[in-house]
């Protein structure tokens, strides 16, 4: 088990960092897209379990986790990280810079906020399934979970 984050993790701009909690609450996944690193942190032991390199990126970063995948958005790049090995499983370019990522409650769809639009994607492939114009959109937030 790693105990520290590799240099220069955390030294870039704050908006280049994103965090996502796994659905079971046992893993906190933290990405620093500027340095190109992702870390898995155990929420039970409050310790860094492992880190892995990613291709570096720029711009505000967004993250959302599924059971076996982490979705990272920064700039016009959407990456799917396999949580088994913390490696990039897929990478797609999107039209406009990403302003938010939200997974549907049933996990069947990944929504991307973009400049004045929302697009929805297949979480297995990242392929865009459809767009909708949303005038004045500045970001997305996760839906409330049912009580």
CATH topology assigned to domain 14-133: Methylamine Dehydrogenase; Chain H (2.130.10)
Q: Give which of 105, 111, 107 is closest to 137, Cα–Cα.
A: 111
Q: How confident is the model at residue 146 (pLDDT cuts 50, 70, 90)?
A: low
pLDDT in tens, 10-26: 888 999 999 999 989 99
| Cα(80)–Cα(132) distance, integer angstroms | 22
pLDDT in tens, 38-65: 999 999 998 999 999 999 988 899 999 9
Buried b (16+ CB within 10 A) or exposed e, 57-83: bebbbbbbbbeebbbbbbbebbbbbeb
- Residues whose CB falls within 8 Å of the CB of residue 119, separated by 6 or more in sequence, listed in order: 94, 95, 111, 112, 128, 129, 130, 131, 132
């Amino acid at each position: 088990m790693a105990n520290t984050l590799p240099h220069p993790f955390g030294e870039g701009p704050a908006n280049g960092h994103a965090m996502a909690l796994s659905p079971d609450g046992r893993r906190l996944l933290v990405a620093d897209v500027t340095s190109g690193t992702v870390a898995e942190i155990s929420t039970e032991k409050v310790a860094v379990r492992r880190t892995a390199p990613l291709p570096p990126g720029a711009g505000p970063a967004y993250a959302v986790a599924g059971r076996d995948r982490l979705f990272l958005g920064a700039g016009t790049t959407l990456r799917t990280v396999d949580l088994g090995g913390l490696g990039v499983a897929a990478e797609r370019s999107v039209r406009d810079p990403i302003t938010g990522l939200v997974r549907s409650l049933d996990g069947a769809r990944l929504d991307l906020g973009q400049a004045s639009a929302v697009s929805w994607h297949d979480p297995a492939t990242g392929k865009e399934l459809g767009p909708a114009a949303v005038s004045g959109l500045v970001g997305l937030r996760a839906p409330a979970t049912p009580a």
